Amino acid sequence: MRYAIGAYISWGVLPIYWKWLHHVPVLQLISHRILWSFLALVVFILLTHRWKEFQQAVFAPRVLRIYVAAALLIGINWLTYVWAVNAGHIVETSLGYFINPLLSVLMGVIFLHEHLRPRQWIPLGLAAAGVFYLTFAYGSLPWIALTLAVSFGVYGLVKKSLRLAHSTV
């Protein structure tokens, strides 16, 4: 429960952080995030003595393709998100993250052949109705919200296929 609360608070404060950095170009912000995340990952892998395991997993051609696709999708998502927040489109970014879970469920049903119990369709329908209302109330096509929802939803689907690829390597 503490982790969930911490995650929600962090996610809620994140737009304020990006706004404080509005004077820094978005591409530079994302580049720093990628660089420092990469360095932290390398240090972690080295400290846990898992370099060979990492190499075997990552350099399998199918897994590498999936990682590249995932990296491109999350890059699009973060570039869009940080740009949109700094450009004052915070409401539209929020709408994107309301659309995302609905899209993720839809992709799970379509592509992963997941099944929802009849009772699960009720809250899904209510959430979809709320998102449709907010989208129409917005007054125009919310391309930022759609870009965020699709890029993160497809990223999640790609990452799910990564688990499947690891099990076949």
User: 122-161 burial, b for 16+ CB within 10 Å, e for fewer?
Assistant: eebeeeeeebeebbeeeeeebebbbbbbbbbbbbbbbeeb
Statement: residue 169 has pLDDT above 50: no
pLDDT tens for each residue of 39-64: 999 999 999 999 998 888 778 888 88
Predicted model pTM: 0.82
Q: Can you give the residue ranges of every domain in the chain?
A: 2-168
Contact 80, 148 (CB under 8 A): yes
pLDDT tens for each residue of 14-31: 888 888 988 999 999 999
pLDDT tens for each residue of 104-162: 999 999 999 999 998 999 989 999 999 889 888 888 889 999 999 999 999 999 998 87
pLDDT at 58: 79
Residues 6+ apart with CB under 8 A from 128: 102
Contact 48, 54 (CB under 8 A): no
Residues 6+ apart with CB under 8 A from 83: 26
